[in-house]
Structure 1
Amino acid sequence: MNFRNKYILGVTLALSVFAIFACSTETEVEVIKEVEVIKEVMVDAPSTLATVLERDLLKCGVNDNLTGFGVVNSDGEFAGFDIDFCKAVAAAILGDSSKVEYVPLTASARFEALAAEEIDLLIRNTTWTSSRDRDLGNDFTVTTFYDGQGIMVKASSGYDSVESMTGATVCVLQGTTTELNLDDRFTGAGIPYTPLTFETNDPLQAAYEEGRCDGWTTDKSGLASKRAGFENPDDHVVLAETLSKEPLGPLTRDNDSEFYDVVQWVVFGMMQAEESGISSTNVADMAASPADPGMARLLGVGFDGGEPSDFSFGIPVDFMQKVISQVGNYGEVYDKHLTPLGLTRDGSLNALWTEGGLIYSPPFR
Structure 2
Amino acid sequence: SKGVKSAKELDGATVCIQTGTTTELNLADFFRANKIKYTPVPIEDSSEARKNYLADRCDAYTTDASGLAATRATFEKPSDHVILPEIISKEPLGPVVRHGDNQWEDIVRWAVFALIQAEESGVTAGNADEMAKTPPNPDVARLLGAEGDLGAMLGLDKAWALRAIKARGNFGEIFESNLGTKTPIGLERGLNALYTAGGLQYAPPFR
Q: For residues 311 and 177 of structure 1, do their structure 2 counterparts lie closer, same or farther at Cα, with a shift above 3 Å needed?
A: farther
Q: Deviations over 1:71-113 (max 9, x none)?
A: xxxxxxxxxxxxxxxxxxxxxxxxxxxxxxxxxxxxxxxxxxx
Q: Does 1:198 align with 2:43?
A: yes
| SS in structure 2 of the partner of residue 247 of structure 1 | coil
Alpha-carbon offset, residue 187 of structure 1: 4.0
What is the percentage of aligned positions where both structures have the same residue? 47
Q: Deviations over 1:312-349 (max 9, x none)?
A: 1122232111211112210110110122233233xx32
CA contact (8 A) 2:151 2:159 kept: no
Q: Deviations over 1:291-313 (max 9, x none)?
A: 222212111224xxxx7554511
Structure 2: gaps (5+ residues): none
CA contact (8 A) 2:15 2:40 kept: yes
Counterpart of 1:360 in structure 2: which amino acid? Y
Q: Deviations over 1:113-167 (max 9, x none)?
A: xxxxxxxxxxxxxxxxxxxxxxxxxxxxxxxxxxxxxxxxx326xx554444344
Out of 147, 155, 169, the position equivalent to 2:2 is 155
Out of 332, 344, 348, the position equivalent to 2:188 is 344
CA RMSD of aligned residues (A): 2.4
| Equivalences, count | 204
What's the TM-score, normalizing by structure 1?
0.50
Q: In 1, distance between residues paired with 2:44 and 2:160?
A: 38
Alpha-carbon offset, residue 269 of structure 1: 0.4
Q: In 1, distance between residues paired with 2:76 and 2:130?
A: 44
Q: For residues 160 and 355 of structure 1, do their structure 2 counterparts lie closer, same or farther at Cα, with a shift above 3 Å needed?
A: closer
Q: Deviations over 1:193-230 (max 9, x none)?
A: 33223333222111001011111111233323333433
Structure 1: gaps (5+ residues): 1-153
| SS in structure 2 of the partner of residue 171 of structure 1 | strand
Alpha-carbon offset, residue 274 of structure 1: 1.0
What's the TM-score, normalizing by structure 2?
0.84
Higher-strand-fraction structure: 1
Structure 1 residues 14-163: aligned runs within 5 Å: 154-155=1-2, 159-163=4-8
Q: Does 1:332 align with 2:179?
A: no
Q: For residues 212 and 267 of structure 1, do their structure 2 counterparts lie closer, same or farther at Cα, with a shift above 3 Å needed?
A: same
Which residue is equivalent to 1:248? Answer: 93
CA contact (8 A) 2:150 2:206 kept: no
Counterpart of 1:178 in structure 2: which amino acid? T
Q: In 1, distance between residues paired with 2:10 and 2:57?
A: 15
